Every structure is written in C-alpha cells, then in structure tokens.
C-alpha cells in the first residue's frame, strides 16, 4: 500500500480543496470561493424542497468537478449550495446555507453517528453510518464493521475531498481503520480496497448482528462486505422461522439462514451460485455454535432450483433484476416469473418472504408483479408484513428516489402440514430427529 496516500489518524496531513486550504477559510472566504450557477425554473422547486441532485439541463453554467457552487434562482436569489459533479447529475446539493467542508463534514458525520447510537440494536457493530443524501452527503456511503469504516464514493465530486472525509471519520471513537472500497465504474473504475487511515484492514473480521456473529470480507464481499440493509429483516424473519423448515434463495453467506437456525427453525437450506459464499455461510453457522452438517448448502441457480418438497418458510432475496436500459415491463415480468417459481416451494400455512433491491422499479409495480407471481403458484395468499430500508439507511424526504429496498411477507392460506400430521392425515413424521441431511436436496457446498 502506498504510504503517501494514507492519512494518519491524528488528522495530520494536507487538507486542500479547490485552490485554498479549508482550515484557513471561514464562511466569508467560502462565499467568495463559491461559483454561481443559475437553476432552470422547473428545477428550483425540487431543490428548494430538498432534492439532492441537479440533473444536466437543470442549470445554466458549469464548474469544475468537486468545486463548491451556489445555486441561484432566475432572479439571483440563493436556493442552495453543493458540489459540482459530472454526467447526468451535475450538482450534488448539500443544503441551503453554505459551510466550508471542513465544518460541514464533521457536523454531519457526528450527527449520523448520534442517530445510529439511538437506533442501532444492542449487540450490533455492523451498520450503515452514512447513507448518502439521507445523511446530507449525497454520493457518500460509509459502513461500519467493528473498528473498520468502509467508505464508498458514488460521485466523482467527492474524490478531491477524501482527506476531509477521512479526518471527520477518524474522529469517531470506534474507528481504527478507514478504507475505501473501489468498484464504482463511473467514479474509480477500479477494484479492491484502498487504505486511507490506520492499520491495514484484516482479510477477515467477525462482527455482531443482534448478538449473532458473522464473517466479513471487506475486500471481496458483496457491497462493502455484508448486505446491511437486510439486517432488521433477518432478525424479524427469524421469529417466524421457529419450527419451520426454511429455504433461503440467493442466500449469499447465509444471513437469513443463521438467524432462522439460531431462533429454532428446522433444517435450513441456503441456495447460492457462489461456492465462496456458501463456504462463508457454513463458517457463519460454526461461529454461532450451529452445526452446518444439520443444514443444507446448495450451489445452484435459484431461478431454476427446486426442493424435493414444499417447506414452511421460503426467503427470496434476489439481486436487482432491472439493469441499464431494461424496460419497466421486462423487470416486472422477471420479478413475476421468479416469484411464481419461488412461491411454489411454500406449503399450505407457510410463509413466503420476498424482496427487491431494484430502485428503478416503483414499489407499487413490484408489488403487482409479486401478486401476479404468487397467484400463478396457487393461493390464496395473505400479505402479513411489508418493510423498506432500516433506520440506519435514512432517505431524504425530498428524495423519494432514494427508496430502493422492498420486502413483503405473504402467508399461503390453508391447513399447515404439521396440523395434517397431528390429525393423522399424513403418514410422514417431520420431527427434527427425522430431518436428516439431504431431505431438501444434497449438500453440494465445495467448502
């Protein structure tokens, strides 16, 4: 790692942006440094109401990427300020009243931390610390994994201000290491991890989620290491899993499965195409004192895999099925067909939990696709729960596009199989002592 690119945790090192040192600039100096841009009439309203983006065509004038700009209406009155960007979004709006970034960043990061202290559950040290515009920093994401802060930039506007971001993060008492996760094509075009402050991040670390232990690989894992946005859903679904056999489609490292097993489910089966993810899922069972050999790990395509018989709880958490220019109709068809396939795995009296991380598809249209899908699987179905992002993924009130996560739980009406067994209608015994390995398909994990 190039030591010249590392900022020491004591905050020393040059902090430059634009053409002057931020530490030497107060509000008056900042006002002189701002570049004025004129908003088009139809853009003034959304920005004034808190929308964090100004699209190309919504403003007259331009500024170098990363420079602070003041946004004025057609009569020259200040509306907001922000950072100049490039591409479809040309300004990332930071608020109404200009502040030097050296003041703004510590204020907003400490405010974000204060909110997390109030709402992150006990025995949890893995959560979203900064969620872009929801925390007043559009284009910036920071996740906490124990003592490691993982930063990801979704805007070129922030690249020149990395030292300021790192200094603000380093002031938090739990931060030992700050790293940047690369992989946003339009911003860095790279891969892997860049050390920004402190000692190197370990190849593997273990974090707590509602008291359960999970392995994190901040260098190679999905997103920044874990799918933190499903944390509260994993905890909630675990309560519904007690006594039920569970199928976890697109299961990654087994988060839903571990929570279910720890809560007293029957046998779980985690289905994923990646052998590395399934190996980590097995390890997550071990970390929590659960024997992975009592559960299943299927390396398979969840779009086509089927269990040999229906189960009491199916979790369907696929990757985004809407990419690039794919039409809204094509995305809805994809979700309809996947949910039709997955819902057939649910027994009468069982639960189907299905989710989407597709921001491009509106919630009402996704729900319509889900309803059509489960209808094809045979019903009737009753919706019993609905959820969005957790509280550590806040969304600015003026930015409805910031919502992306959607989840519903549906109950398949009918007499549960366990009730049929109790009444003598079924000769099978589904007790835990009879649920040996292979009952829901062979364990093909390569771990």
Tokens 């209608």, residue? 425
Residues whose CB is less than 8 angstroms from the CB of residue 49 and which lie 6 or more positions away in sequence, other chains included: 398
Contact 339, 315 (CB under 8 A): no
Residue tagged active-site, from 357, 361, 409, 440: 357
Structure token digits, residue 202: 């370990």
- Catalytic (active site) residue 357: yes
Torsions phi, psi for 59 (to 5 deg): -150, 145
Please give the C-alpha separations between residue 267 and each of 89, 253, 350, 354, in angstroms, as whole numbers. 48, 16, 15, 19
Give the residue among 362, 383, 360 at the shortest CA–CA distance from 371: 383
Q: 395 with 403: CB under 8 angstroms?
A: yes
Q: Are 235 and 259 in contact (CB under 8 A)?
A: yes
Report which secondary-structure segment, H or E, holds 356: strand 346-356
Q: How crowded is residue 219: how many other Cβ atoms within 10 Å of its Cβ?
A: 16
Structure token digits, residue 283: 């390890």
- Cα angle 253, 151, 143; round to 5: 50
Q: Give the pair of three-digit tokens for residue 46.
A: 């959304």
How far is Cα 119 from Cα 439, in angstroms, rounded to an integer?
A: 40
User: 386 - beta bridge partners?
Assistant: 408
Q: Which residues are catalytic?
A: 357
């Amino acid at each position: 790692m190039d030591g010249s690119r590392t900022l020491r945790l004591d905050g020393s090192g040059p902090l430059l942006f634009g053409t002057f040192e931020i530490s030497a600039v107060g509000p008056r100096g900042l006002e002189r440094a701002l570049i004025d841009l004129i908003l088009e009439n139809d853009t003034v309203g959304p920005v004034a109401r808190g929308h964090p983006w100004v699209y190309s065509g919504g403003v007259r004038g331009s500024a170098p990427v990363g420079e602070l700009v003041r946004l004025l209406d057609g009569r020259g009155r200040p509306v907001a300020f922000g950072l100049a960007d490039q591409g479809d979004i040309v300004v990332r709006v930071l608020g109404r009243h200009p502040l030097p970034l050296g003041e703004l960043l510590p204020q907003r990061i400490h405010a974000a931390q204060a909110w997390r202290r109030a709402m992150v559950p006990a025995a949890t040290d893995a959560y979203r610390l900064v969620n872009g515009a929801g925390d007043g920093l559009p284009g910036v994401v920071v996740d906490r994994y124990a003592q490691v802060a993982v930063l990801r930039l979704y805007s070129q506007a922030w690249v020149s201000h990395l030292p300021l971001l790192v200094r603000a993060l380093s002031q938090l008492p739990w931060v030992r290491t700050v790293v940047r996760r690369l992989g946003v094509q339009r911003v860095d075009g790279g891969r892997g991890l860049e050390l920004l402050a402190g000692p190197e991040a370990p190849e593997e670390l273990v974090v707590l989620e509602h008291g359960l232990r999970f392995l994190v690989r901040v260098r190679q894992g999905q997103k920044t290491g874990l799918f933190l946005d499903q944390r509260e859903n994993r905890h909630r679904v675990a309560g519904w899993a007690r006594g039920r056999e569970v199928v976890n489609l697109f299961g990654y490292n087994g988060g839903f499965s571990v929570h279910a097993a720890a809560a007293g489910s029957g046998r779980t089966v985690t289905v994923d195409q990646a052998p590395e993810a399934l190996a980590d899922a097995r390890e997550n069972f071990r970390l929590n004192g659960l024997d992975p050999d009592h559960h299943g790990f299927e390396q398979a395509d969840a779009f086509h895999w089927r269990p040999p018989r229906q189960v009491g709880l199916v979790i369907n958490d696929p990757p985004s099925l809407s990419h690039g220019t794919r039409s809204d109709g094509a995305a809805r068809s994809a979700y309809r067909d996947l949910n039709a396939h997955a819902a057939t795995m649910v027994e009468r009296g069982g639960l189907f939990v299905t989710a989407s991380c597709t921001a491009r598809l509106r919630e009402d249209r996704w729900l319509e696709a889900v309803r059509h899908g489960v209808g094809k699987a045979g019903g009737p179905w009753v919706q019993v729960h609905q959820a969005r992002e957790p509280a550590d993924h806040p969304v600015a009130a003026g930015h409805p596009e910031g919502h992306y996560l959607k989840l519903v739980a549906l109950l398949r009406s009918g007499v549960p199989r366990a009730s049929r067994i109790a009444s003598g209608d079924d000769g099978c015994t589904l007790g835990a002592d009879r649920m040996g390995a292979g009952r829901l398909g062979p364990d093909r994990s390569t771990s």
